[in-house]
Amino acid sequence: MAIEILQLLVQSADTWLFEGNLSGLSDREWMALRFLAGANRFSRTPTALASFLGATRSAASQIAAALQNKGLVVRKPSAEDKRSIVLCITGEGEKFLERDPINLLRDQVEALEAGERSRLHDTLGRVLTGLDVAKRRHRADVCSRCMFLVESGEGKDRHFKCRLFRKSLTPKDTTLLCAYFEGRS
């Protein structure tokens, strides 16, 4: 059964993982663009991108430069640390993501019943966590599941804060990817 599941995962990857360029982007550039589009403000840096891609900072900077040269990303000074830069998706980058080959797979997952999606999410999450431990790497995930997220209040008085960065978060921030994610025990 494990081999059959692996074969299915490989077949699903065929819909979005490819050799060479598709629409002018390599696999790593697609991964970077997807990550930056869904990342929170703390994770849109070359260092966080490198961590997500499992690449050196230099390699991540080269990927970001390629995306910038294609008009999909811009580099901006960080509002919080003037020594740092933030990588931001441009309007052209957002339009480009509408044609992302992974959208076909997303649509099939969205078509599943809620319970099936939840089980698939939890199961794949456990598999990825096991792979991360085995490879001694760190996985990005959404703030809402992070041990650093602190919630207070209710309703309109509900507030969120990241204990790691000691910054307030908006409700939308809690749904975005963070390269500094730490799961709750």
The CATH number linked to 74 is 1.10.10.10
Position 40 in a domain: yes
Average pLDDT over residues 110-137: 84
Give the integer Cα–Cα distance in Å for 109 and 136. Answer: 29
Position 77 in a domain: yes
Domain hosting 24: range is 16-108
List the alpha helices (DSSP H) in the chain.
2-13, 27-38, 46-53, 57-69, 91-97, 102-110, 114-135
Position 7 in a domain: no
Position 178 in a domain: no
pLDDT, tens digit (0-9, with 9 covering 90-100), for 57-107:
999 999 999 999 999 999 998 877 778 889 999 999 999 999 888 888 899
Q: How many domains does the chain have?
A: 1
Average pLDDT over residues 164-184: 89
